[in-house]
Structure 1
């Protein structure tokens, strides 16, 4: 999306929503108003909590707990052709998507409410590939023409603003509202780096064989799409060369992901005049005017070096090259909604990056798209059917138990002094929580959705969301707003709001099962809760105080002790190898690794505060003690198979460790695991020395 908000710390990396591109109105009447091309879809298997058939008992859990807990699951769940990875996490996401699909099919063909008419129409239009094939590139022709008609570099900023305001399409960078990290009660305007097609700056800058191969294939795909858009082969190659040249220059000026994790590195408040003085060749004031932003006197320029790079790109590039770059981002952004040759070329880029051999079925793509653009519309009906009030109440009780356990952990940390402990306790006491779904649903009444205009729907919904975000600038922060849709299988911690968020989508097996014993629930959803709470105290979250402002609340001695402990994790995880030759980035994954380790310990303590002194403390189920079931419940939410290409990409871009190391890395740092499985100290999962922060 053109606009953005400060990234929250999440349990699992989530895919970005597709960026909208402009459209022309085209219409095709479908017979009887039915969805085009919708076929019956078999129901997926519903995930279960603690799958004993997943265990590989030929493996010693003390040598490799992940292989023990997930070995047979990995063998019996080969990668589907349309997935770059597949795990128990994905199983639940696929099951939720299927349940959404059923609602969308009903709404597309037999809507019962105005809201169902709206989201059903969005889905129906998305499913109409025959119309997309008929129209070809025409839906984006007007915008390509407007770009081609640009005759003055001084007018680029105005055109970029117009394209965003009228079509929801962002170019070169991201702009929108975010919580002011020095005054978290209000939204501040913010400018962020962007403008790249490949997933990370390193794809443009590294000269290893794999990176060179990716760039070469990417260049070929750009040539192919420019040719499809009506350019001659020579023109297409010239334009593709320009795209790679400009994106590489922007990549050189981009801050890397590890540096971005420090909030101090991405907070530089300037006036618009100061921004303009540092970028004389790109008139940001013209962009803001064309975008019709609310009035603001200052903004956060998150990465000043990127603005310098953008200014240099505008100054040194031919106007024709800049127009080619802009055309490409329109074509690429809308390719999945154009005719089949464009869709195939767009998927070829995904294949190159992830190794996935087959594109997902249309119903899957359209279900995800509808959830992405009208998630709080269809989400209202989804939670009524799939999320009972009793689950929300039980989740609230679990969160309280974890809060008590984290408080006890803070009170007894041997390395923390009383002064810092008081501040940490204040932050914990100020935690807010969101469970299941929003209190106040988003109002989509102003969004126009048509059954026969997929590109236009995408465009209008992106404009709707962009304007909704921009209108926040200068206003108080809405603490009740959600940034995930109800069926989402994820959770997050927002440091600026100091809140933990758990959509209804993750509150299903294997994460949460009301019928399962406490040991399993605390090992799965309990660790998720503890994970998000610990994010408030990882190396990034620890820079934010109880009110969500960036402030140093640590004594120098405590900060030194904290840094020493986090450095242990950096070194430990940095030695894990995802695939041959691709070691994890211990600094990039530090926050998530700290949250995994802390969450595991806190959930374990919370479990024992609930069961100690009761028959449940010693009762074995299926031959496993409560402690063993706790650790198995934790490990099995991370069972997964992954393609090598995807693994290599995720090492570059994902702040999370792969499932194997989220499991083995955390348990080998926790003595309670070795004791639970009667491991000999010195074995791989029960080492004589380990890392601990929280």
Structure 2
């Protein structure tokens, strides 16, 4: 169970359930849904499709201006027939010019449709083998694919534009979103399903965990109660842990006590983060782990790198998409939920974003930091601070965070786990970073466990901890107090009243280039519930939606892709036999988990997981605090137990997938096992190009620049021969250089930061395509989809590319470039396919064309 995040609108109709139709997030009567689902486009949202700003983002954005009762905006037009006497000519003459135009358009479309149907019928009759698939499913998916294409673009010039140009035109950024893609869309659909389940008037679960889930969700919906309480819950909490220099008196001798409360009890992460997890060098045991942390803005670059930030100019043109976190995920944000804001303005097409604000000066560091400082000051004054003194003290906190940013190691420099892993005792940690009483702190955070100074810990980044200790010793205690309490404030403020959300809105506009949200409260509350009771919510979701046969089908596909990957291993001319054999053994040992963990369907086991977590329907803020305290206890409980191989770090409804190196395991939640990634009635070319590439991607993570350091048992140890290791590094250097040449708004992609994901994208595509070819050899050619003019081999590559169709604001693109371990979506397509000889062959791209540059970077 993953209790803490691992350093991680279009219309929706629900078929086969009580009718529910969502338009722009607001509910419409059931009749609005009739007949609509069948024509819905698969032009929707992964991840990197990140949940921006973690929990803070998921807790933000609580109100729709229409209060999710009726859709905001103009009333629908009334259309009817005129009555009364008159000749046909007189009645026609009385019609408006617009009506005549609309009639002409309708007639033209009807004629075109008739011609298309006749053409397909003739083609079908002339083809004795009936090689075109004309089932309803084939016609619908062909229509969606064709709609997304830009057939004016030469696929050998820009395959992303060819595959996604039509989708981009038809998908303006929804209100309040800084990014929109397939993953966002699927997550919105999943949220609508969960809303229906939790708001069902007949909800009567026999599981206490599921009942807690509904109580938590309903407490989040009680906006009137939240408004009545205002800032009082947080002010009382601050007083309870010793006060805040910004708002009143504080205990000047209580640094360690405040640190223990803020970090240990309420799970904020000032200075550093502490967690319990599998020991990378002894994966059958858990160990205390300490890593760098402490910044509020998305990355250190926002504090330090003025040049890069100032390049985020809002010029014309749509934005191409773009730890120790979880670098193994298929996409970085599982669900795509973002910080939301209550203010409203018209949605902008991605190309219009630049036109609307291109006259502004740009988003240099001073602008971002000024907006952040204003946000800090506003929250401080809402909690009782006086404006001018609050600004002065918050500036000191911001300066302190900037010093932390300066010693924070960039993610691109932390990709060698062997180098950053440092195992030591608590006593040795005390010598390394003496500003913290580590035995006192860890004993408190992991209570009721008894710890001694001989207890082992793993430190990731010993130099950082040494420097942060020096920084603490050199900083005035009042600034440290303000910084610690600020960490608590920013973690909890989004659970307070409207004023705090309005303050957040202004910062969001600067950071992500999006202002209008109108995110309905229910959507925010579903995301919060997923974060808190995600597996209990997943139990409801899986029982209502998941086709159990999908699990067996997915397992078969994984076996086929694994076999194809191992065949490729045999063909590598740069790998020695000993390393090759070990690699095969590791591939064979990869443990796959599909759909959901079994315990969620056993009421007793599910209830045991959440036993001890108290949930009230009356206090959302207290429910949140209770969860922080509960998750701290769960973390402590794990230390003396071996890691659970069947433990998941993603909830079943998540639209993502991941690889975990210490388990040598891959996970594919139920949330991603749906179209456009997978559908039972889709051609195999699309399924292999969709979920098949996802599976190949996660499998290849076991052999990327970080995953390759772990053996088949999940232990960090050297198992490569030196000759193969050098050859591997030479090949990955090619990929680092290739992706480092790509730019978004004149800002380069970081080829080092994205290396692992780029290796996985390339290896995953190759494994999935080879698996598809093997399937064809066993089963014969599939029928083609109608009207596309594509072979099934070409369809595989188009299906892969269209998964990554997306739009985002320039500000969001910049944020992705500096924080995301994945390349922008455009280059996940172009970079991968320009390295694929199979793609070049099937699209006939001439040597020297952009999609066939001649030099192909290939690792696996």
| TM-score category of the 2 structures, normalised to the smaller one | over 0.9
**Matching of residues 22-61 of structure 1 within 5 Å:** 39=69, 51-61=145-155
**Deviation of 1:465 (Å):** 2.0
Partner of 1:598, secondary structure, is helix
Partner of 1:184, secondary structure, is strand
| 8 Å contact kept, 2:595–2:668 | yes
CA distance in structure 1 between the aligned counterparts of 2:596 and 2:3, rounded to whole angstroms: 23
Which one of the candidate residues 213, 221, 237 is aligned to 2:391?
237
Corresponding residue number in structure 2 for 1:395: 554
Which one of the candidate residues 243, 251, 268 is aligned to 1:151?
251
Which one of the candidate residues 758, 769, 776 is aligned to 1:604?
769
Corresponding residue number in structure 2 for 1:178: 277
User: Structure 1 residues 584-593 or 250-259, which shifts more?
Assistant: 250-259
| 8 Å contact kept, 2:662–2:710 | yes
Corresponding residue number in structure 2 for 1:331: 489
Corresponding residue number in structure 1 for 2:187: 93
| 8 Å contact kept, 1:20–1:459 | no
Corresponding residue number in structure 1 for 2:48: 12
Partner of 1:664, secondary structure, is helix
CA distance in structure 1 between the aligned counterparts of 2:686 and 2:725, rounded to whole angstroms: 35
| Deviations, residues 318-377 of structure 1 (Å, cap 9, x unaligned) | 221111112212221112111111111123323221112123321211110111111101
**Deviation of 1:110 (Å):** 4.2
**Deviation of 1:306 (Å):** 2.4
1:322 to 2:417 alignment: no
CA distance in structure 1 between the aligned counterparts of 2:500 and 2:141, rounded to whole angstroms: 39
Partner of 1:277, secondary structure, is helix
1:407 to 2:507 alignment: no
Corresponding residue number in structure 2 for 1:197: 296
1:273 to 2:427 alignment: yes
**Deviation of 1:86 (Å):** 0.3
CA distance in structure 2 between the aligned counterparts of 1:652 and 1:353, rounded to whole angstroms: 13
CA distance in structure 2 between the aligned counterparts of 1:482 and 1:20, rounded to whole angstroms: 22
**TM-score, length-scaled by structure 1:** 0.92
Larger radius of gyration: 2
| Deviations, residues 364-419 of structure 1 (Å, cap 9, x unaligned) | 11110111111101110101111111111110110010010011011111111111
CA distance in structure 2 between the aligned counterparts of 1:341 and 1:451, rounded to whole angstroms: 23
CA distance in structure 1 between the aligned counterparts of 2:185 and 2:593, rounded to whole angstroms: 24
CA distance in structure 1 between the aligned counterparts of 2:802 and 2:759, rounded to whole angstroms: 19
**Deviation of 1:151 (Å):** 3.0
| 8 Å contact kept, 2:288–2:457 | yes
| 8 Å contact kept, 2:265–2:628 | no
| Deviations, residues 228-281 of structure 1 (Å, cap 9, x unaligned) | 111101221122112112211221221111122221233111111111122222
Q: How many equivalent pairs are there?
A: 673
User: Structure 1 residues 410-419 or 487-496, which shifts more?
Assistant: 410-419
Corresponding residue number in structure 2 for 1:354: 512
CA distance in structure 1 between the aligned counterparts of 2:721 and 2:460, rounded to whole angstroms: 27
| Deviations, residues 430-461 of structure 1 (Å, cap 9, x unaligned) | 10000000122342132111111111111112
| Deviations, residues 94-130 of structure 1 (Å, cap 9, x unaligned) | 11111112112227x8444434431111111111222
User: Structure 1 residues 362 and 557 mapped into 2: Cα distance closer, same or farther (>3 Å)?
Assistant: same
1:666 to 2:832 alignment: yes
CA distance in structure 1 between the aligned counterparts of 2:823 and 2:281, rounded to whole angstroms: 30
Which one of the candidate residues 135, 147, 161 is aligned to 2:229?
135
CA distance in structure 2 between the aligned counterparts of 1:386 and 1:144, rounded to whole angstroms: 43
CA distance in structure 2 between the aligned counterparts of 1:101 and 1:270, rounded to whole angstroms: 47
User: Structure 1 residues 323 and 526 mapped into 2: Cα distance closer, same or farther (>3 Å)?
Assistant: same
User: Structure 1 residues 454 and 37 mapped into 2: Cα distance closer, same or farther (>3 Å)?
Assistant: farther
| 8 Å contact kept, 2:266–2:488 | no
CA distance in structure 1 between the aligned counterparts of 2:808 and 2:586, rounded to whole angstroms: 38
CA distance in structure 2 between the aligned counterparts of 1:48 and 1:373, rounded to whole angstroms: 36
CA distance in structure 1 between the aligned counterparts of 2:591 and 2:70, rounded to whole angstroms: 42
User: Structure 1 residues 487 and 281 mapped into 2: Cα distance closer, same or farther (>3 Å)?
Assistant: same
1:69 to 2:189 alignment: no
CA distance in structure 1 between the aligned counterparts of 2:263 and 2:57, rounded to whole angstroms: 9
Which one of the candidate residues 576, 584, 588 is aligned to 2:749?
584
User: Structure 1 residues 614 and 274 mapped into 2: Cα distance closer, same or farther (>3 Å)?
Assistant: closer
CA distance in structure 2 between the aligned counterparts of 1:188 and 1:472, rounded to whole angstroms: 9
Partner of 2:199, secondary structure, is helix
Corresponding residue number in structure 1 for 2:322: none
User: Structure 1 residues 119-128 or 461-470, which shifts more?
Assistant: 461-470
Corresponding residue number in structure 2 for 1:681: 847
Corresponding residue number in structure 1 for 2:781: 616
CA distance in structure 2 between the aligned counterparts of 1:412 and 1:498, rounded to whole angstroms: 23
Partner of 2:814, secondary structure, is helix
CA distance in structure 2 between the aligned counterparts of 1:230 and 1:7, rounded to whole angstroms: 32
CA distance in structure 2 between the aligned counterparts of 1:99 and 1:556, rounded to whole angstroms: 52
Corresponding residue number in structure 2 for 1:364: 523
Corresponding residue number in structure 2 for 1:80: 174
Corresponding residue number in structure 2 for 1:593: 758
CA distance in structure 2 between the aligned counterparts of 1:133 and 1:254, rounded to whole angstroms: 38
| 8 Å contact kept, 1:159–1:290 | no
**Deviation of 1:143 (Å):** 2.6
Give structure 2 stretches of 5+ with no counterpart: 9-45, 59-65, 73-136, 244-248, 311-363, 601-605
Partner of 2:440, secondary structure, is helix
| Deviations, residues 27-78 of structure 1 (Å, cap 9, x unaligned) | xxxxxxxxx9663789xxx996862211110111111111111111000000
Partner of 1:616, secondary structure, is coil
User: Structure 1 residues 19 and 356 mapped into 2: Cα distance closer, same or farther (>3 Å)?
Assistant: closer
User: Structure 1 residues 668-677 or 157-166, which shifts more?
Assistant: 157-166
**Matching of residues 415-564 of structure 1 within 5 Å:** 415-441=574-600, 442=606, 443-564=609-730
